[in-house]
Amino acid sequence: MRVLITGGAGFVGSHVADVLTERGHEVRLLDALVDTAHGGDEPPVWVRGYDTVLGDVRSAEVLDSVLSDVDVVCHQAAVVGHGLDPSDAPRYTGHNDHGTAVLLAAMYRAGVRRLVLASSMVVYGEGRYTCPEHGPTPPGPRDAAAVAAGRFEPPCPRCGADLAPVLVPEDSVLDPRSVYAASKVAQEHLASAWARQTGGDVWALRYHNVYGPRMPRDTPYAGVASLFRSWLERGEAPVVLEDGAQRRDFVHVRDVALANALAVERPTAGLTPVNVCSGEPHTVGELAAELTRVMGGPAPRIAGGARPGDVRHVVADPVRAKELLGFAAAVSFSSGVAAFATDPLRSSAGLG
């Protein structure tokens, strides 16, 4: 099939291009080389052999020129990460939501009815929890005073006991707690409405914490693995917020790329959300400690506190991805982190 990959020169998009090509598909890349992910005006070396168009996904003219012979769109283009503060809202909504709306309109004009959308685990907010006494219980907003006092686990609103995290399936309530998260929820809603109106189909791949070669570095929009590695390369201890016990699912970018390829090859009906995860949850502290061990750096520094919008635990349920896409992650945490210590990263021109 012929696949357009928006954000195709980026971290995830470039790996999607590699895997799709390995599986016999033809790819075309579209990328605006935004400064929060790229350090220059030229595509990075790892995509220079591909049909690459430099252009903005928010431009209808550009999209009309690249969609005429396309079967499927893999929509990776987005501003990602926690960002700085609410002043980032126009950047997130402009690139992520307006860009998606312009893309969907162009796909309609071109008669392209299949979309693989890069969504995110951030749509779940605080994930899913249970109380020892009251069973499944949604946590309320994190209390700033409790976090400042070192009480990080969300309490049961009825009895005050610490809630325990459980696996988050795709039918969980969407509860975005940052501007970035809100933009990803909006992308899913826009794509779902488009699918209903056009009879198209959408896989919404909810990536969990992606890491691996070609990550951006030295930018507040980078993932935590990249931030830890930058500290260690400077000979500094990686700084871990809260107590380091917050649980996440760290999934290697090659596995994420494979999930995209499987979604390209398998039509669905309407919009189908799927967790893309390793199924092997670890704490943020474990990530810092493992990377420190591999790189031989100073021990991580537990700093306490939390950024506004941070959530305590999000642990993914991998069952639907296996059942619907035949996807299971292949890269283990230990081998992936060991390789990440020396993986090539990319510089960004964004704030350091």
The CATH number covering residue 44 comes to 3.40.50.720
Q: Which two tokens mark 167?
A: 């696996």
Strands 114-120 and 51-54: unpaired
Residue 197 inside a domain? The answer is yes
pLDDT per residue as tens digits for the range 190-206: 999 999 999 999 999 99
pLDDT tier, 350 (very low <50, low <70, confident <90, very high otherwise): low
Structural domain that includes position 201: 2-126+168-216+250-279+317-330
Residue 150 inside a domain? The answer is no
Looking at residue 349, its pLDDT comes to 52
> Within 13 Å of residue 121, how many CA atoms lie on the same side as its CB?
29
Closest CA to 7 of 34, 25, 26, 40: 34
Name the domain count of the chain: 1
Q: What is the spatial distance between Cα 95 and Cα 240, in angstroms, rounded to a whole number?
A: 30
What does pTM read for this prediction? 0.95
Looking at residue 296, its pLDDT comes to 96
Residue 192 inside a domain? The answer is yes
Residue 340 inside a domain? The answer is no
pLDDT per residue as tens digits for the range 265-300: 999 999 999 999 999 999 999 999 999 999 999 999
Is the pLDDT assigned to residue 4 strictly greater than 90?
Answer: yes
Is the pLDDT assigned to residue 351 strictly greater than 60?
Answer: no
Residue 324 inside a domain? The answer is yes
Q: What is the spatial distance between Cα 70 and Cα 25, in angstroms, rounded to a whole number?
A: 11
Strands 201-207 and 250-252: unpaired
Say which residues have a Cβ less than 8 Å from residue 62's Cβ, sequence separation at least 6.
30, 53, 55, 56
Q: Do 315 and 184 contact (CB within 8 A), yes or no?
A: no
Residue 227 inside a domain? The answer is no
Residue 24 inside a domain? The answer is yes
Residue 184 inside a domain? The answer is yes
From the centroid of its chain, how far is CA 308? 19
Strands 128-131 and 135-136: antiparallel
